[in-house]
Structure 1
Amino acid sequence: MIKVFTLPDLGEGLTESEIVAWRVAPGDTVTLNQLIAEVETAKAVVELPSPFAGVVAELHQQPGTTVRVGDPIVSFEVDSPSGRESALSAPSAASSGQKVRSRETEREAVLVGYGAAVERGGRPQRRARIGATDAGGQVATDTVPAPPIAGEEPPVATERPRSTPPVRALARTLGVDLAEVTGTGPTGLITRQDVEALAGPAVPVAGVRETRSPIRSVRKHTAAAMVQSAFTAPHATEFLTVDVTPAIELIEALRGDRVFAEARIGILAVVAKALCLAVARTPEVNTHWDEAAGEIVQFHYVNLGIAAATPRGLIVPSIPDADRLSLVDLAAALAELTSAARAGATRPAALRGGTISITNIGSFGIDAGTPILPPGEAVILALGAIAPRPWVYRGEIALRQVVTLSVAFDHRLVDGEQAARFLTDVAGLLANPARALALL
């Protein structure tokens, strides 16, 4: 019997994915939940396990192809009508947020590819990331170990080399087998440098003057979002250069304090805290223009977006309820966010729901810029490069740590005066961090 597996709904409103790589070929025998492919959405790389036990009959899509939800991607020849997929036949809970329960397991349903199920007895199990009931493509997540076949030895589990999605993509491009790579990263993680070292130096192709690549995944999503924002919201930008020497001295003092020594507080955390405090004085900067409803939405919380450059393109994950976090907690949240972004492991849920954002263009040595607003947000603050410059300090010229702040805003929601007040509040807190005590 032939069973067709269609691209399932991966949640978060995503309607298409790109086939990154197949891990099986026609004629291969697969077991239930065996990894068969990697697909890349506009938000994350997701691993697809087999929803059936049987033989791969046909691959309907080639790597690099963009496939819409519901399109057939692979067919299996199975021995029984059920194909051992009965435990995966419940409707999808990945996008509904409902709990998925079974006799052995109980956990909150999450988007495919994340988390692990835990037996009631406490033993962790690997969770099947995606399943399907039929050609209709219904999806569910559950832990379903394939039962052993009578007379056969149980399969020997092999450990997949530990690496991140961008590193795996690089390995495919360079033709490197990750099984042959020795990871030098934390706990044996395979890094980009490990793959490049095994691949050897690139050989230039004589006569090649240009290279064309398809517009895909994050780059495609980012481009569409930026065009929508630029031609929907009337952008305006204001700049302010400020002496942030006191903020730098505060950071150094906290790092020297044994209570905060492990907190890894940096300038971005201090700016984030200053932004949250400034929002309270100018709430108009934390709003949304709802065109369909004809309403202005005022947020009474701050989901702080942080623009992050990754190998897959620009993403803006957010820290929920950042205004409720202490400076130490903000620093920890920023470290976790940036680490996940660099590893290509940002959860799709973190890429929506932002209310106001920061972009740290100073990390690239840029003094100032005019950032485009993330769609749906009223303000984005750009932090320029901090550098020593001659500055008037207490009536004399002194060498001080100076930075230029830029604030881009949606002029439908924020007036120039409101943007100026917000920007000067942020600058004032960086120039004199003690002012924060008066705003708390």
Structure 2
Amino acid sequence: MAEIQQFALPDVGEGLTEAEIVSWAVQPGDTVTTNQIIVEIETAKSLVELPSPFAGEVVALHVAEGDTVDVGAAIISIASGALDRVPDADADADADADAGEAIDTSPETDESPEEEPKLLVGYGPGAPRPRRRRGTAEQVAAASTPIEPATPAPAEVAAPIRCTPPVRKLAKDLGVDLATVTATGPAATITQDDVLSAADTHRPSASTAPSSSDIRVPIRGVRKHTAAAMVSSAFTAPHVSEFLTFDITATMELRARLAARTEFADVKLSPLSLIARAFLRAIERTPAANSRWDDAAQEIVQLSEVNLGVAAATPRGLVVPNIRSAQRLGLRELSVAIAALAATARAGKTAPEAMAHGTATISNFGVFGVDAGTPILNPGETVILGVGSITRRPWVVGTGDAETIAPRWVTTLSLSFDHRVLDGQQASELLSDTAAFLSEPELAVL
């Protein structure tokens, strides 16, 4: 006896309300096993692979690649036999029922902790579970077809909109309402040509239309989240930025010596690692920098742990995962953590929880050849350090009669801070201490 299970989009963390379907790893007719990856989604923070909570045959995909889906919406139906869970309370009562029983996925409270395996957020003890209803598995499968059904009205039933997921995505990208498209395909199915024709019919005149070479990029996923966060931060915290250009030659020479040591043989020791270590050391001397402004309580909360965020540019936008309790790490451990964080971000695999609870951030725009900038605070944080490019420049060295001009490694640090939490003196000390530890690394041991 086949049972039709609908898998609803779960909240994968941080209270996200929607996600975009990036790619399906299965198609109708495929057989899947429990915990097999079936779909990749993009949340407002990262890419996430979702495993199947059921084993069986894929009956239907309810959403297309490129669609944005609300948490809790059904995305796939899977027909399965006996599931690895405790039967329903009414299972015995239905033992003699028709062999064509199917599953109703309307929520029903169940307090048994063993009813569902703990596979995903939103699935497990207390999660919505199926109720039995009469009807054949074939009838349920037909109701779960990827062809979008009409919504019945009390007086009449509207004609269904029939099209494949790729055609639905094309209509969405072109801004075409499928309800206005004349279908020319078999069984009144809307084709790709039908959508393109409708798009041409509603295209603005040449005097008002954009150039055909213009590219329109939907604002969604990571970029949508970043834009909202930056706007919120910019118009909530009063930003002030300071800059300091200095000679970082001593740190570059220290890096070369450390890289040659055995304990760093398998570690990528970048200048950013040393800058991050100096920044953490400076925060120890200005602990107010590691604080949050609690508007509701009208308090400044000084935090005991520094969760150091490192901004990472990815093809899908900017993400800022953080290293928990970074002040407790030595230089080697910090270097390993930064390298792993960057690799995970570039692969688009940063988990939402890895970007939560940051307390201070570093943004290394110097890797793009930029000398300085005014970084915007991550929401809720008090400081962000911008790192400019490290380049060879003529620099005045020595004093008095020994003063000369020599080529040196030089960089500029930019510090943006929340002026509600830090005053100018505190922020200036934080920035100057960071530069001092990099100009003269031996100061870090004092």
Corresponding residue of 1:293: 297
Cα gap change, 1:279 to 1:87, in 2 (>3 Å): farther
Residue 250 of structure 1 pairs with residue 250 of structure 2: no
Give the Cα–Cα distance (whole angstroms) in 2 for the partners of residues 88 and 16 of structure 1: 31
Q: Following the alignment from structure 2 to structure 1, what is the Cα–Cα distance between the partners of residues 129 and 361? A: 36
Partner of 2:47: 45
Deviations, residues 181-201 of structure 1 (Å, cap 9, x unaligned): xxxxxxxxxxxxxxxxxxxxx
Match among 209, 214, 220 for residue 218 of structure 2: 214
Structure 2: any 5+ residue segments left out of the alignment? 89-112, 131-210
**Corresponding residue number in structure 1 for 2:349:** 345
Contact 1:132 1:138 survives alignment (8 Å)? no
- In structure 1, the partner of 2:336 is 332
What are the ranges of 5 or more consecutive residues in structure 1 without an aligned counterpart?
A: 90-99, 110-127, 140-206
Change (3 A) 1:314 1:101: farther
**What is the identity, as a one-letter code, of the residue corresponding to 1:306?**
V
Separation in 1 of the partners of 2:333 and 2:126? 46
1:75 aligns with 2:39: no
Distance in 1 separating the partners of 2:394 and 2:224: 43
Residue-by-residue CA offset, 1:284-318 (whole Å, 9 max, x unaligned): 21111112222211012211110111122111111
| 1:276 and 1:323 in contact (8 A); partners too | yes
Matches within 5 A, 1:398-437: 398-437=406-445
Within-5 A mapping of 1:215-294: 215-294=219-298
SS at match of 1:404: strand
Structure 1 position 430, deviation (Å)? 0.7
1:35 aligns with 2:24: no
Q: 1-side partners of 2:424 and 2:61: how far apart?
A: 56
User: What SS class does the counterpart of residue 86 from structure 1 fall into?
Assistant: coil
8 Å Cα contact 2:48-2:351 kept in structure 1:
no
Report the Cα distance in structure 1 between the residues aligned to 2:263 and 2:125, rounded to whole angstroms: 57
Q: Is the contact between residue 13 and residue 353 of structure 2 (CA under 8 Å) also seen in structure 1?
A: no
Residues 228 and 375 in structure 1, CA contact (< 8 A), matched pair in contact too: yes
- Whether the aligned pair in 2 keeps the contact of 1:9 and 1:69 (CA below 8 Å) is yes
1:68-91 per-position Cα deviation (integer Å, ceiling 9, x unaligned)? 111122233445xxx5152799xx
Aligned to 1:57: 59
- Look up the equivalent residue of 1:228 and give its one-letter code: S
RMSD of Structure 2 on Structure 1 (CA): 2.8
**What amino acid maps onto 1:363 in structure 2?**
V
Contact 1:305 1:318 in 2 (8 A): yes
Number of the residue aligned with 1:21? 23
Separation in 1, partners of 2:332, 2:416: 27
CA distance in 2, matches of 1:260, 1:74: 48
User: Match of 1:420, as an amino acid?
Assistant: S
What is the aligned partner in structure 2 of residue 12 from structure 1?
A: 14
Alignment of 1:160-179 (within 5 A): none
Alignment-mate amino acid for residue 45 of structure 1: L
Q: Does the CA-based 8 Å contact 1:70-1:136 persist in structure 2?
A: no
Contact 1:305 1:317 (8 Å CA) reproduced: yes
CA gap 1:101/1:391 in 2 versus in 1, 3 angstroms:
farther
SS of the aligned residue for 2:262 comes to: coil
User: Distance in 2 between the 1:403 and 1:241 partners?
Assistant: 6
Checking the alignment, whether the CA contact within 8 Å between 2:366 and 2:387 is kept in structure 1 is yes
Q: Letter of the aligned partner of 2:83 in structure 1? A: R
Q: CA deviation at 1:38?
A: 1.8
Give the structure 2 partner of residue 357 of structure 1.
361
Deviation at 1:263, TM superposition (A): 3.6
CA distance in 2, matches of 1:75, 1:135: 21
227-236 or 53-62: bigger deviation: 53-62
Specify the code of the residue in structure 2 equivalent to 1:418. Q
Describe the shift of the 1:23–1:258 C-alpha distance in structure 2 as closer, same or farther (beyond 3 A): closer
Deviations 1:160-202 (A, max 9, x none): xxxxxxxxxxxxxxxxxxxxxxxxxxxxxxxxxxxxxxxxxxx
Runs of 4+ in 1 over 6 A off after TM superposition: 133-136
Q: Equivalents in 2 of 1:435, 1:133: separation in Å?
A: 53
- Matches of 2:374 and 2:421, distance apart in 1: 18
SS of 2:357's partner is coil
Could you tell me which of 319, 329, 344 is aligned with 1:315? 319
Following superposition, the deviation at residue 233 of structure 1 comes to 0.7
CA shift at 1:131, angstroms? 8.4
- 1:233–1:88 CA distance, 2 compared to 1 (3 A): farther
Amino acid in the other structure paired with 1:3:
Q
Mapped to 1, the partners of 2:277 and 2:9 lie a distance apart of: 42
Task: Determine if contact 2:18/2:43 at 8 Å carries over to the other structure.
Answer: yes
Kept in 1, the 8 Å contact 2:48–2:349? The answer is: no
The AA in structure 2 aligned to 1:354 is G
Tell me the amino acid that sits aligned with residue 259 of structure 2. R
Deviation at 1:255, TM superposition (A): 1.8
Question: Which structure 2 residues correspond to residues 126-205 of structure 1 after superposition, within 5 A?
Answer: 132=123, 137=128
- Going from structure 1 to structure 2, the CA distance change for 1:269 and 1:33 (only over 3 Å counts) comes to closer
The answer on 1:375 being equivalent to 2:361 is no
Specify whether residues 415 and 37 from structure 1 end up closer, same or farther in structure 2 by C-alpha distance, changes over 3 A only.
same
Do the aligned partners of 1:19 and 1:38 also contact (CA within 8 Å) in 2? yes
The answer for the alignment partner of 1:396 in structure 2 is: 404
Cα distance, 1:138 vs structure 2: 6.8
